[in-house]
Structure 1
Amino acid sequence: MCDFAQSVRDATQAMRAVFPATPLLRNAHLSEIYDADVYLKREDLSPVRSYKLRGAFNAMRKRPDVDLFVCASAGNHAQGVAFMCKHFGKQGVIFMPVTTPQQKIQKTAMFGGDSVEIRLTGDYFDDTLASAQAFCAEAGGHFLSPFDDEDVIEGQASVAVELVEQLGKMPDNLVIPVGGGGLSAGMLSYLGPQCQYTFVEPAGGACLHAALEAGKPVRLERVNNFADGAAVGQIGQKTFSRLQNVGLANTLRVSEDRLCTTMLEMLNVEGIVLEPAGALSIDALQDLGQSIRGRTVVCITSGGNFDFERLPEVKERAQKFLGLKKYFVLRMPQRPGALKDFLTLLGPDDDIARFEYLKKSARNYGSVLIGIETRDAENFDRLFGKLDAGGFTYQDITDDDLLSQFMI
């Protein structure tokens, strides 16, 4: 690993001609909560608002004779590749799913300018990836993987070089988000066993956890794409070879809904805009709790490419996780005054966020979809108690993913 470490330091030094080191900042708010020295390594403040340009830089730097780079990405990797294609004067063809939000397409185009061509193909990423690889083979370009590439891993490890230089010592605990494994594999390989690691994944895309259980990379049956910067269906072969001995005890899976509470907390309290994947390491502090008390902890905030059109969804998911918002289907008698009877059951802190008749043809009863927001989760115990006492028939569908998908 000595050669790897020196190569990472060389790559880090070369990066300084292109962009400055991202800051390492002590966060007083989090430090007070956890009675620890909590630092944030702010990869969300890179020129493309994620660490992905590091791997792209290193891979292109090492291939001066390659004129065409090809990648498949719907987000941060695409922007990193575009930025570096423009910097190195290379041509890039970036394949993105047809369903990619316009904001991400526009930012990729902005970073790459005339150096990149964006091709929208496939409804799902696997289709996009297949198209990109087929084109690359035909055109004779170099396919640049977002994580499963030794030069990309080496480039991402530059985060570790900067971190130690800025902190002036090794942290006691290092909390790293994991998607395909490029960042975590690079940092672990560079730093070695000198600190305590926690590798954090979204619950709906925990491909490292699955690989550790199976002893090899395996494809997840289903992936929740909410934390799209880390929601990967299968960890890389090269990255897993570096992570295979980390142990399940050092991995965490966090719920996407709880992640939303952390995103809102950092936005409202600290004014820090993080994408879901970028908030993973901070969210994990809740699980580490007392184990980090009095210690120096560094969380990698891996990205801040957040589309504010998603803010209402983030708020709703956070409210649901905290028990402050619920949806239920109520069987309402079709008689004058029935709605008034229901309204009298609501408390002073209960607000109707949604009210929709689902069936109006029944003569005696009708089903109503109701969304209620409140200030204290315990208020729902009181409300449901009153509904039971009043003989109302209802079903709480807040946590029913299938019904919620079609009705809410």
Structure 2
Amino acid sequence: MSTFVEAARAAEREMRELFPPTPLLRNDHLSQRYGAEIWLKREDLSPVRSYKIRGAMNAMRKARAAGAERFVCASAGNHAQGMAYACAHFGVSGTIYMPVTTPKQKIDKTRAFGGEHVEVRLTGDYVDDTLRAAEAHCKEVGAHFLSPFDDADVIEGQASVAVEMLETLDEPPEVVVLPVGGGGLSAGVRRILSEVSPHTETILVEPAGGASLAAALEVGEPVTLPRVDTFVDGAAVARIGKRTWEVLREVDPRDVLRVSEDRICTTILEMLNVEGIVLEPAGALAVDALKDVAERIEGRRVVCVTSGGNFDFERLPEVKERAQRFSGLKKYLILRLPQRPGALRDFLQTLGPDDDIARFEYLKKSARNFGSVLIGIEAQRAEDFRGLFERMDAAGFLYRDITGDQSLTDFLV
């Protein structure tokens, strides 16, 4: 057995000082839906509600053995919480840089986990800005920089997910579905599986607005994405890690999926409403990807890693909004309404019995014959809009569906 596998197993044993193995649970709802045996590796149930505690703890353990007593990191939340928890456990000081845009829930939890051992500094709008500030501070004070993913000891710690998974199951899974951000988790798990269970297939999943691995595979080396959608903040990374790339460069591009941020929202709501499982956007990536591989996994044993559950419920209205729009249950229209008595009543009569007006903004301009209305409509079924539009056309109303116009909806909605 290789040194890496033995080291990952040793790291897993050391973690029992901090927390028990996270559950690996068969999910009946997903199993029935996909005609497969679906298991969830519940990293959302770790002490910091993500797998990031593993890499942080393992890297800090090794750095302390080499004499380090002061640590610095940059993180949008989950790695920060893992480092804070480890700092409190080992009794060392840590400075944690987080973007100003980080959800308040993650900032508060980081401070709570670290207590007097950590200082949180909010810097920059994006993780790249935060990273530069953290690295500069690290050099200034001579601290040990704890990378969120691009570190051999962090990768080794994240690999303990696979160690636990294989020890729990009576037989290895046929497929493992993993989220990808910087690549620490996927690199660690793939290294374990390649040696211990080489017949297990891995499917890697990225958010469409942060597909840095797919971009690297296209050109054969890591590249920096020109822009990143930060909605899936736990996996929205502009550039795959250098060390993680050395492991992931051999991945078949067909095994790397890109899923839309809006569709992820439908999975977050489904898991919350049906299963009572709280997942953050990055934590829902692996489950959401099952929709794209339904035929491939039918009749097979599949493990999805639910990588995090640090969901700020203040974001729930946005998640619901994006899920409704993706599912075709909510649309936004710009309606040209004649400025005459009864025009609004005529429009309302075109609505079906289950159609609901969720937003209505009307600006009456006396010098014009028509006024513009921004209207949001919710339906019970996506096909209901076909009938609504037919009735509006028959009544002579002029309108524009702006639901798919991202620029307009970002500004107006």
TM-score exceeds 0.5:
yes
TM-score normalized by structure 1?
0.98
Cα distance in 1 for residues equivalent to 2:124 and 2:3:
40
Q: Which amino acid in structure 1 is aligned with residue 299 of structure 2? A: G
Given candidates 184, 187, 208, the residue that maps to 1:185 is 187
Corresponding residue for residue 301 of structure 1: 306
Q: Which amino acid in structure 1 is aligned with residue 57 of structure 2? A: F
Given candidates 239, 257, 265, the residue that maps to 2:262 is 257
Given candidates 81, 102, 107, the residue that maps to 1:105 is 107
Cα distance in 1 for residues equivalent to 2:130 and 2:277:
32
Q: Which amino acid in structure 1 is aligned with residue 170 of structure 2? A: G
Cα distance in 1 for residues equivalent to 2:100 and 2:256:
33
Contact 2:60/2:146 (<8 A) preserved: no
Corresponding residue for residue 73 of structure 1: 75
Corresponding residue for residue 397 of structure 1: 402
Corresponding residue for residue 158 of structure 2: 156
Q: Does 1:317 align with 2:359?
A: no
Corresponding residue for residue 25 of structure 1: 25
Cα distance in 2 for residues equivalent to 1:134 and 1:263:
37
Q: Which amino acid in structure 1 is aligned with residue 353 of structure 2? A: P
SS in 1 for 2:101: coil
Q: Percent identity?
A: 67
Cα distance in 2 for residues equivalent to 1:101 and 1:200:
23
Cα distance in 1 for residues equivalent to 2:223 and 2:367:
50
Corresponding residue for residue 120 of structure 1: 122
SS in 2 for 1:194: coil
Q: Which amino acid in structure 2 is aligned with residue 165 of structure 1? A: E
Corresponding residue for residue 87 of structure 2: 85
Cα distance in 1 for residues equivalent to 2:103 and 2:201:
37
Cα distance in 2 for residues equivalent to 1:120 and 1:300:
29
1:92-136: per-residue Cα shift (whole Å, max 9, x none)?
000112222322211100000000011112233222111110000
SS in 1 for 2:337: strand
Corresponding residue for residue 54 of structure 2: 54
Q: Which amino acid in structure 2 is aligned with residue 374 of structure 1? A: A
Matched pairs, number? 408
Q: Please state how far the C-alpha of 1:361 moved relative to its aligned partner.
A: 5.1
Q: Which amino acid in structure 2 is aligned with residue 198 of structure 1? A: I
SS in 2 for 1:227: coil
Cα distance in 2 for residues equivalent to 1:116 and 1:407:
40
Given candidates 165, 173, 176, the residue that maps to 2:175 is 173
Cα distance in 1 for residues equivalent to 2:125 and 2:272:
32
Cα distance in 1 for residues equivalent to 2:364 and 2:72:
52
SS in 2 for 1:63: helix
Cα distance in 1 for residues equivalent to 2:367 and 2:304:
56
What's the Cα RMSD here?
A: 1.1
Q: Which runs of 5+ in 2 are unaligned?
A: none
Q: Which moved more, 1:91-100 or 1:366-375?
A: 91-100
SS in 1 for 2:107: helix
Corresponding residue for residue 209 of structure 2: 204
1:278-321: per-residue Cα shift (whole Å, max 9, x none)?
01111111111121111100000000000111111111111111
Q: Please state how far the C-alpha of 1:400 moved relative to its aligned partner.
A: 0.5
Cα distance in 1 for residues equivalent to 2:274 and 2:62:
42
Corresponding residue for residue 289 of structure 1: 294
Pair 362,183 (structure 1): closer, same or farther in 2 beyond 3 Å: farther
Q: Please state how far the C-alpha of 1:376 moved relative to its aligned partner.
A: 1.0
Cα distance in 2 for residues equivalent to 1:12 and 1:362:
73
TM-score normalized by structure 2?
0.97
Pair 363,123 (structure 1): closer, same or farther in 2 beyond 3 Å: same
Given candidates 230, 246, 255, the residue that maps to 2:251 is 246
Within-5 A mapping of 1:223-242: 223-242=228-247
Contact 2:350/2:392 (<8 A) preserved: yes
1:62-82: per-residue Cα shift (whole Å, max 9, x none)?
012101110011210100000
Q: Please state how far the C-alpha of 1:394 moved relative to its aligned partner.
A: 0.9
Cα distance in 1 for residues equivalent to 2:399 and 2:281:
33
Would you identify which runs of 4 or more consecutive aligned residues in structure 1 move more than 4 Å?
A: none
Given candidates 144, 147, 170, the residue that maps to 2:146 is 144
Contact 2:104/2:312 (<8 A) preserved: no
Pair 397,164 (structure 1): closer, same or farther in 2 beyond 3 Å: same
Contact 1:359/1:368 (<8 A) preserved: no
Contact 2:99/2:122 (<8 A) preserved: yes
Given candidates 334, 338, 343, the residue that maps to 2:343 is 338
Cα distance in 2 for residues equivalent to 1:136 and 1:243:
28
Cα distance in 2 for residues equivalent to 1:369 and 1:136:
50
Cα distance in 2 for residues equivalent to 1:152 and 1:27:
29
1:246-266: per-residue Cα shift (whole Å, max 9, x none)?
111111111111111111111
Cα distance in 2 for residues equivalent to 1:398 and 1:336:
28
Corresponding residue for residue 273 of structure 1: 278
Contact 1:358/1:369 (<8 A) preserved: no
Cα distance in 2 for residues equivalent to 1:77 and 1:323:
35
Q: Which runs of 5+ in 1 are unaligned?
A: none
Contact 2:363/2:372 (<8 A) preserved: yes
